[in-house]
Amino acid sequence: MAANKILIKGGLVYDHDGDVHKPVAADILIEGDAIVSVGPSLPAQRTQGAEVIDARDHLVIPGLINAHYHSHDTLCRGMFEEMPLEFWLLYTLPMGAFRSKQELRLRTLVGALEAMRCGITTLQDMLGLIPLTEDNVDIVLDAYAEIGERVVFSPMVFDIPAIAMIRHADALPPDSQEMLGTKALGAREQIDFLDRQIKRRPAAGTAHWASAPFAPQRCTPELLEMCADIAERRDLPVYTHVYETRGQAVMARELYASHGGSFIKYLDQCGLLNRRLNIAHSVWLSREEMDLMAAADAGAVLNHNSNLKLKSGIAPILDMREAGMRVGLGCDNCSGSDVQNMFQSMKAYCTLAAVSDPMPGPPLAHEALRNATLGSARSALLDDRLGAIKPGYKADLVLLDMKDTAYLPYNSAARQLVYTETGRAIDTVIIDGRIVIKDRIVKTIDEAALRAEVTDLMKHFVPEYEAMVKARAVALPYLMEAHKRVWATPLKMQRFLARTRYGDG
Ligand SMILES: [Zn+2]
């Protein structure tokens, strides 16, 4: 059987290397999962038999790629406010662990649905999959395949228990310690599991794999070395959390003094500082570390809105740019930012750079768009097939209706996509050559049925959440004490603005 053909006719096709303000009208021919032609008028014999999408009055952009996301807490959207990261972590991870198969499936679909409606065609799901079982892997990957969202999937691994992150937690009663997490699986067991899953369900179609050590402070050198090894053997990208908060920078100085007080040097020693590595957040990365990252072709995935809401600070965008580090963009958790919206991520990338330096200059909107597509694709080692509209690239495309007020009047595609668009104009989304949203209707799943199932599920979820918050309150004084100590410890960098008490003025 011949591959299915789709012809997207007459849209303004965004080209990173062309006129980013006024893209030219072109036709796009898709065969199977790939773009085969892009041009002003394709010969009739090539397009014969194709399903035609009339894209006049539309902008066609490459699918956006969210390079940092976790599906384990999509049901916690809107549940948290005012807490800094360390406090929020106390609640968000447990609500993702040991859940029913139904819940696992629903939460995966909820996050993917929101993403695709907002033009995100690929999610890097760094999943806290607890317990790590084949069944659970199948449920998650099958849910992504069902809805049609592309995923770079990486169950997080760690072998240092959560309790180790809370100072003086040994003063807590043993049952409270246990509740906070005194156990972790062995390094070898986790890596062997990942190895078996990749062998069992090799990357194909819209499913891709990554290696994801939770964070350097949650992993022994043995585990990090095994993560580097499996990445090399299986040609995987590596994602980890580094320097999200000031507390983590203080921890690096104190606990990793033998590595120059640097998580980056620690990762380097474990074989991870290379072109495969991506560090999420990088808010408290030093300039010296940026240079090391750039020299190794390692990259950052920036999640500004999560960093702002969780009181982590502002990542040093302009310094990273100056160091020549590669950058991808993400949205992070559904209960941390609390939205999967790369238009917000792109805008924050530009505006937060603007409060770092008053001089005229970049970053510009088209750079934010490049980071949210090709930059994020590069983080997954997929930039040879994702992130641009070119023959040979996967057919992951988003159509925006320019009759939306965001384009009234229409002056610049790049600037209006980054500064004006909210996701509202998206009416059609194609992933891997499959039309997943057409005229704003999701074609792959029954959205109303999903809504009903989730509403029903929340009747149990909410009381469980409330009980968990109550039980975990025991840890709050310890967290507060550690938090104050972090802020009393001098550190030669500043990632907050406009508050004299914390270092300004
Ligand atoms: Zn994260």
Distances (CA, A) of 450 to 72, 79, 103, 408, 456: 17, 20, 11, 35, 10
Quote the CA–CA distance of 390 and 54 in Å, as a whole number.
Answer: 19
Query: What would the mean pLDDT of 476-498 be, rounded to a whole number?
Result: 90
Q: Name the DSSP letter for residue 14.
A: -
How many angstroms does the Cα of residue 428 sit away from the middle of ligand 1?
A: 29
Quote the CA–CA distance of 179 and 172 in Å, as a whole number.
Answer: 11
The SS3 assignment for 392 reads: coil
Q: Which CATH number fits domain 64-379: 1.20.1440.80, 1.10.287.110, 3.30.930.10, 3.20.20.140?
A: 3.20.20.140
Quote the CA–CA distance of 346 and 367 in Å, as a whole number.
Answer: 9
Summarised one tens digit per residue, pLDDT across range 402-438 is 999 999 999 999 999 999 999 999 999 999 999 999 9
Structure confidence at residue 92 (pLDDT): 85
How many angstroms does the Cα of residue 345 sit away from the middle of ligand 1?
A: 15
How many angstroms does the Cα of residue 422 sit away from the middle of ligand 1?
A: 23
How many angstroms does the Cα of residue 300 sit away from the middle of ligand 1?
A: 12
Query: What would the mean pLDDT of 74-79 be, rounded to a whole number?
Result: 95
Summarised one tens digit per residue, pLDDT across range 28-51 is 999 999 999 999 988 889 999 999
Query: What would the mean pLDDT of 6-29 be, rounded to a whole number?
Result: 98
How many angstroms does the Cα of residue 461 sit away from the middle of ligand 1?
A: 22
Work out the mean pLDDT of the chain and round it to a whole number: 95
Question: What residues does each domain of the chain span?
Answer: 5-62+391-442, 64-379
Write out the CATH class of domain 5-62+391-442. mainly beta
How many angstroms does the Cα of residue 232 sit away from the middle of ligand 1?
A: 23
Structure confidence at residue 96 (pLDDT): 87
Are 5-62+391-442 and 64-379 the same fold in CATH?
Answer: no
Summarised one tens digit per residue, pLDDT across range 228-285 is 999 999 999 999 999 999 999 999 999 999 999 999 999 999 999 999 999 999 999 9
pTM of the model: 0.97
Name the pLDDT band for 177 (thresholds 50, 70, 90): confident
419 C-beta neighbours (distance < 10 Å), count:
16
Query: What would the mean pLDDT of 385-406 be, rounded to a whole number?
Result: 98
Q: Are 103 and 143 in contact (CB under 8 A)?
A: no
List of residues 6+ apart from 17 with CB closer than 8 A: none
* 205-243 per-residue burial string, b: 16 or more CB within 10 A, e: under 16: ebbbbbbbbbbbbbbbeebbbbbbebbeebebbbbbbbb
The two three-digit tokens of residue 123, written as one number: 């999610």
Structure confidence at residue 505 (pLDDT): 53
Summarised one tens digit per residue, pLDDT across range 109-157 is 999 999 999 999 999 999 999 999 999 999 999 999 999 999 999 999 9
How many angstroms does the Cα of residue 45 sit away from the middle of ligand 1?
A: 48
Q: Name the DSSP letter for residue 3.
A: P
What is the 3-state composition of the chain as percent helix, strand, coil, each rounded to the nearest 5? 45, 20, 35
Q: Name the DSSP letter for residue 213.
A: B
- Nearest-10 crossing angle of helices 174-181, 447-472: 150
The two three-digit tokens of residue 418, written as one number: 């980054």
Quote the CA–CA distance of 260 and 245 in Å, as a whole number.
Answer: 18
Name the pLDDT band for 504 (thresholds 50, 70, 90): low
Structure confidence at residue 503 (pLDDT): 66
Structure confidence at residue 106 (pLDDT): 98
Structure confidence at residue 478 (pLDDT): 87
Q: Is the pLDDT of residue 173 over 60?
A: yes
Q: Are 366 and 375 in contact (CB under 8 A)?
A: no
How many angstroms does the Cα of residue 72 sit away from the middle of ligand 1?
A: 11
How many angstroms does the Cα of residue 161 sit away from the middle of ligand 1?
A: 17
Structure confidence at residue 224 (pLDDT): 98
List of residues 6+ apart from 187 with CB closer than 8 A: 157, 159, 219, 220, 222, 223, 226
Structure confidence at residue 165 (pLDDT): 76
| Percent of the chain predicted with pLDDT > 70 | 99
Quote the CA–CA distance of 30 and 1 in Å, as a whole number.
Answer: 16
Q: Computed from CA positions of residues 10, 347, 115, 440, in that sequence, does the dihedral angle turn out positive or negative? A: negative
How many angstroms does the Cα of residue 125 sit away from the middle of ligand 1?
A: 9
How many angstroms does the Cα of residue 465 sit away from the middle of ligand 1?
A: 20
The two three-digit tokens of residue 190, written as one number: 């986790």
| Percent of the chain predicted with pLDDT > 90 | 87
How many angstroms does the Cα of residue 20 sit away from the middle of ligand 1?
A: 31
How many angstroms does the Cα of residue 189 sit away from the middle of ligand 1?
A: 23
Name the pLDDT band for 171 (thresholds 50, 70, 90): confident
Name the pLDDT band for 394 (thresholds 50, 70, 90): very high
How many angstroms does the Cα of residue 330 sit away from the middle of ligand 1?
A: 9
How many angstroms does the Cα of residue 271 sit away from the middle of ligand 1?
A: 22
Segments in 148-286 forming alpha helices (H): 174-181, 187-200, 221-234, 246-255, 263-269
Structure confidence at residue 1 (pLDDT): 54
